[in-house]
Amino acid sequence: MADQGAARIRRMIKKTELRRMVPLADSTIWEMEQRGQFPRRFALTPRCVVWDLAEVEAWLMLRRENPIQRAPHPDVRKRVARPVKLVNKD
């Protein structure tokens, strides 16, 4: 008889459950998938895509163990539209 652990089917999640786990926009997740920075989705049917729950959980644990640096705040004085004027309070 085959090993029960190998025969066990892994749990898959749909987009609604993924959104509860990973609070990122759909476009951000898609872009990260394209760059290889997020687990890839796959199609169960022509209209249903899913993610492997174990891969998503592993990605979350990796993010927790190796946090990324926050992006620096933009220099608002360099904006083209509505540039900020600094007011001297003398």
Q: Is 51 exposed, middle or buried (0-12, 13-18, 19+ CB in 10 A)?
A: buried
Map out the domains of the chain as residue ranges.
8-67
pLDDT tens readout for residues 18-64:
999 999 999 999 999 999 999 999 999 999 999 999 999 999 999 99
pTM of the model: 0.69
Phi and psi for 6 in degrees, rounded to 5? -75, -30
Q: How confident is the model at residue 1 (pLDDT cuts 50, 70, 90)?
A: very low
